[in-house]
Every structure is written in C-alpha cells, then in structure tokens.
Amino acid sequence: MTHSIGFIGLGNMGGPMAANLVKAGHRVTGFDLAADARERAAGHGIAVAASAEQAAAGAEVVVTMLPTGRHVLDAYAGLTAAARGALFVDCSTIAVGDARIAADLARTAGHRVVDAPVSGGVPGAEAASLTFMVGADDADFTAAEPVLAAMGRRVVHCGASGAGQAAKICNNMILGVSMIAVSEAFVLGESLGLSHQALFEVASTASGQCWALTSNCPVPGPVPASPANRAYAGGFAAALMAKDLGLAADAAAASAVPAELGARAAELYAAFAEGAGAGLDFSAIVTTLRKGTA
Ligand code: NAD
C-alpha cells in the first residue's frame, strides 16, 4: 500500500531515506530549511514544499529526520495541518523525554505517533538497510512497519512511546564505551610491544570481540574497510557519538543510574568532538588516548 508522505528534514540521513520512499512508490512531499538539501531531494523525485506545514498538509504519514529534540518539538507544535489521524514518525535521535512529549503533542492533535530512531548511518540510509528501533503502541507500530521497511532492513518494536529512543541511546552507550575500551587496549598493546595485528587476531576471536573491534577497528590494518584506513574520514561522526552519549548520560542522571563508564565516555567524546575529532569518525579517539590528551 502506498501513502502520501510529508518528509521534514532532508539532510544526510533524511535525503536518502525520502528517496527510498519514492522508490517504493510512495508520493513524498518534503521540506528542508537548507536550499541544497531541497535541490538534492527534488532530483530524487521528492516534491519540494515551501514550508514544513505545507509538506505535512493532507499527508497520511509525516516523517521527521531533524538534528535535535528542540527541532522535533518545534516541528510537531506547528504541524496541525496534517490530516486528522495522520501517522507521525520521528526518526531523529532525541531524548526519551522529548520523544514522549512529542508523542503527547501528536496524540492531542488527533494523530498517531511512533518514535523510530535508526542505526546504520548514511550508508544504511542510502542502501535502505537501516535498523529502526520503534516506540509505539501495537496499532501504531503495525501501521508504521511497512513504511519503515521501505527505508530499512530491520524494524524492532521496543515498547511504548520513547522506547525506541531508549534502545538507541543504550546501544550507542555500549558502542561509545566499547570503542574507548578497544582503543585503550591497542594503545596499551603498543606500549607493551604488541603488534596491532597480533592483538586483533587474538581479541577478535576471543572474549574481547565486539563491533568496535571487528567492524570499526580504530587502528589501520586489521580491518581494511574501517575508517582508520582512510585517515578517519567518513563513518560515524565523533560529534554524533558525543550527542548520543550526552543523551544517555542525561537519561542515566535523570533515572539515578550511576553508569559511570557511560558518563566518562560522554565527557571524553564531548571534548574530542569539539577539538581534534571535529569532522572525523568516532574511532579517531584512539589518537588522543595515545597522547593522553582527550
Ligand atoms: P543533518 O544535519 O545532515 O540533517 C538535518 C536536516 O534538518 C538539515 O538538512 C537541516 O537543514 C534540516 N532542518 C533543521 N531544522 C529544520 C526545520 N525546522 N525544518 C526543516 N528542516 C530542518 O543530520 P543527519 O545526519 O541527517 O541526522 C539527522 C538525525 O539522525 C539526527 O538526530 C542524528 O542524530 C540522527 N542520526 C544520524 C546518523 C548519521 O550517521 N548521520 C545516524 C543515526 C542517527
């Protein structure tokens, strides 16, 4: 079944996601504040609207892919133009609390709503191979699933509103902490005279095995496709890791959960993203750990 879809936020992720909805046969009307994003979207068959309200007007489904919770809440407050009963799908990564407020706003306006943040980055958005983590009631999840399936490979129902965002920040807290742990192990190995390859061969098949080591190895050599082999260009930006760890640390503090390693990882990534790590893949943090300057 195809839908008329309003898509707000056509950036690095939203642009290719909206293009995949067009490929799946949906009628997509999009809006972005940035002119270059609007132009790229038009080239992929998206009808470009003059405002977010216009993109949502009369849409059966309204997807948002925006930078922060503030952007999403502002957008939701202004989207009364959508048809009553429209399905609101927020794919941005935002705080669990903001996702719950957004859900209340949408429901109060007579809409259905899911939070559906993603994992898989820009390559996953382009290849329609994202994983969606969904917070919604059963009926809204069922309605959203086929739309999300056009943009991704896995759609996981994590629980009620906010549960998708909770899964996202918990997963990325594991990733941020494990990347630092893997990086520290390589730096310690170096000082003990251990080659990167030797440590990789042991840890990748032993109890140190994890995604940060085997898919996104922070040192060049052992995993040819990892960003370390191209001067840490591309990949998952350190700034986005800093953002996600900040959301996780805030959620832990608000829930009185100590999460000491998560909090420390948030501090290290915040400093790194603002300094040497600006514009680099998050695995580049190994370079500052080596110098002890993170
Ligand atoms: P981006 O900055 O490339 O895109 C965001 C877009 O939103 C921009 O084009 C911006 O102009 C637009 N925008 C901002 N306010 C707007 C408004 N009021 N109306 C219309 N457009 C508006 O960011 P991105 O990389 O696409 O990330 C989007 C979200 O996805 C973020 O929450 C991010 O944390 C999350 N995310 C990103 C990645 C990734 O690898 N890039 C991976 C997973 C999740």
**Interatomic CA distance for residues 96 and 76, integer angstroms:** 16
Residues forming beta bridges with residue 63, ordered by sequence position: 7, 89
Q: Please work out whether the CB of residue 8 comes within 6 Å of at least one atom of ligand 1.
A: yes
Q: Which residues are catalytic?
A: 168
Q: Please work out whether the CB of residue 31 comes within 6 Å of at least one atom of ligand 1.
A: yes
Give ∠ CA 95-98-99 in degrees, rounded to 5.
Answer: 90
Q: Which residues contact 164 (CB under 8 A, 6 or more apart)?
A: 99, 114, 115, 116, 117, 132, 133, 134, 135, 136, 158
Q: Please work out whether the CB of residue 280 comes within 6 Å of at least one atom of ligand 1.
A: no
Q: Locate tokens 């809409």: which residue?
A: 111
Give ∠ CA 208-172-91 in degrees, rounded to 5.
Answer: 145
Sign of CA dihedral 210, 227, 165, 24: negative
Q: Please work out whether the CB of residue 55 comes within 6 Å of at least one atom of ligand 1.
A: no
Q: What is the pLDDT of residues 266-286, one digit of tens each?
A: 999 999 999 999 999 999 999
pTM (predicted TM-score): 0.95
**DSSP code for 281:** B
pLDDT at residue 292, as a whole number:
64
Greatest CA span in the chain, whole angstroms?
A: 65
Say how many Å lie between the CA of residue 137 and the centre of ligand 1: 25
Q: What are phi and psi of 63, to 5 degrees?
A: -100, 135
pLDDT at position 118 over 70? yes
Q: Please work out whether the CB of residue 48 comes within 6 Å of at least one atom of ligand 1.
A: no
Say how many Å lie between the CA of residue 132 and the centre of ligand 1: 16
Testing ligand 1's pocket by substitution, the residue of 8, 10, 12, 122 carrying the most ligand atoms inside 8 A of its CB is 12
**Interatomic CA distance for residues 137 and 143, integer angstroms:** 10
Answer for the pair 8, 65: CB distance below 8 angstroms, yes or no: yes
Say how many Å lie between the CA of residue 156 and the centre of ligand 1: 22
Q: Which residues contact 200 (CB under 8 A, 6 or more apart)?
A: 213, 217, 221, 222, 223
H helix intervals, 35-156 = 35-43, 52-56, 69-77, 96-108, 121-126, 138-149
Say how many Å lie between the CA of residue 115 and the centre of ligand 1: 15
Range of weakest confidence among 59-63, 83-87, 154-158: 83-87
Q: Please work out whether the CB of residue 18 comes within 6 Å of at least one atom of ligand 1.
A: no
pLDDT at residue 82, as a whole number:
86
Q: What is the pLDDT of residues 143-187, one digit of tens each?
A: 999 999 999 999 999 999 999 999 999 999 999 999 999 999 999
- Atom 31 of ligand 1, residue of closest alpha carbon: 67
Strands (E), the chain: 4-8, 27-31, 47-48, 61-64, 87-90, 112-115, 118-119, 130-135, 152-159
pLDDT at position 293 over 70? no
